[in-house]
Structure 1
C-alpha cells in the first residue's frame, strides 16, 4: 500500500464479518496484502451497503507515511516528499499543536516530533522562503525547548511565534 488504498468489492454476510476481523487484526498486529500498513493509518473510511442480497463494501485507507518509503536512486537515502505533500502533512500536525496548546493541553509527543522533523526537512527546500528559514528554525528550537520543559505558557508563546513566522513567509510565498 502506498500512502492510501481502496478496497471495493461485493461480499456475502459471513465474508463481511471476516473482513472486519482481519481489519481489526491488521490494526492491532500489522497486516499484509490489501491490509498491509493499515496499523499506521491516519484515516479509515468504510462504507457498507446491502444491495439485492449482496453486500457492497468500500474501504479507503490513508496511512501517515508511505508503506514502502521512496528511495533516492542516486544517494540510496529516503527520498524527499514533494514540497506540497510535506506542507499538507505539516498542516495537520501544526493544527493539533496550536489547538491543544491554546486549549491549555500539552500536545502528544508524536505530533510535536512529526512537526519538528517536517520543519527541519522543509527548510532544506530552496526557493520557498529561504530568507525566513533561519528565523523559523530558531523559533522551532524554542518550541522544542518549551515542549521539553513542559511549561504550557512557554509552549503557548512559542507556538504563537511559529504562527507569526508562518504568516510572514506565507504572505510573500502563498
Structure 2
C-alpha cells in the first residue's frame, strides 16, 4: 500500500456500525486487513450517505508514512523519494512548524525531526535551487539549535528565516 487508501461501498446499518468498530480497533490497537497502516494516520476523511435505503460509505485514509517497505537502491541504502514527493512531505511538517511557533507553542519533536531530515535530503537534489541550498542549510541549523535550546524567540526568528529562504527559492523555481 502507498501512503493512502480508499474504501467505497454500499452497506446496511449493521455493517456500517461494524465498519466503525473495526476502524476504532485499528486506530487503537494497530491496523490489519482492511485497515492496514490506519493506526499511523495523518488524515481520515469519511463520508456516509443514505441513498434510497442503502448506505453509501466513502472513506479515505492518508498514512503518515508509507506502509510498504522502503525501496532500496543499488548501494543498499534506502532509495531517495521523488523530488515532488519529498516537497509534498516537507510542506506538511513545515506548515505545522510555522503555525505552532507563530502561536508561541513549541512544535512536536517528530515534526521538527521530519522537517530537518527532509531538508537535508532536499539539498542533495541538483537543479532545484542549488544556489540557495547553503543559506537554507544554515537557517535549518539555526532552527535546530533554537529548538534544542527551547527558546521560542529564537525559534520564531529561525522559522521566519526559513520562510524567507523558501520564498526566495520558490520565486525563481516554482
Shorter-chain TM-score bucket reads: over 0.9
Per the alignment, residue 30 of structure 2 pairs with: 30
Distance 1:25 1:168 in 2: 46
- Structure 1 length-normalised TM: 0.94
Deviations 1:16-47 (Å, cap 9, x if unpaired)?
Answer: 11111110111111111220000111111111
- Could you tell me which runs of 5 or more consecutive residues in structure 1 were left unpaired when the two chains were aligned: none
Distance 1:148 1:122 in 2: 22
Distance 2:24 2:14 in 1: 16
Per the alignment, residue 72 of structure 1 pairs with: 72
**In the alignment, is residue 97 of structure 1 matched against residue 82 of structure 2?**
no
Per the alignment, residue 159 of structure 2 pairs with: 159
Per the alignment, residue 172 of structure 1 pairs with: 172
- Preserved contact between residue 69 and residue 78 of structure 1 (Cα < 8 Å): no
Per the alignment, residue 111 of structure 2 pairs with: 111
What is the alpha-carbon root mean square deviation over aligned residues?
1.3
* Residue 84 to residue 161, structure 1, CA distance change in 2 (3 Å): same
Per the alignment, residue 149 of structure 1 pairs with: 149
Q: Aligned with 1:116: secondary structure?
A: helix
* Residue 69 to residue 130, structure 1, CA distance change in 2 (3 Å): farther
Number of residue pairs matched? 174
Distance 1:13 1:167 in 2: 50
- The structural deviation recorded for 1:69 is 3.4
Q: Aligned with 2:18: secondary structure?
A: helix
Equivalent positions of 1:127-142 (< 5 A) are 127-142=127-142
- Structure 2 length-normalised TM: 0.94
- The structural deviation recorded for 1:165 is 1.3
* Residue 73 to residue 107, structure 1, CA distance change in 2 (3 Å): closer
- The structural deviation recorded for 1:73 is 4.5
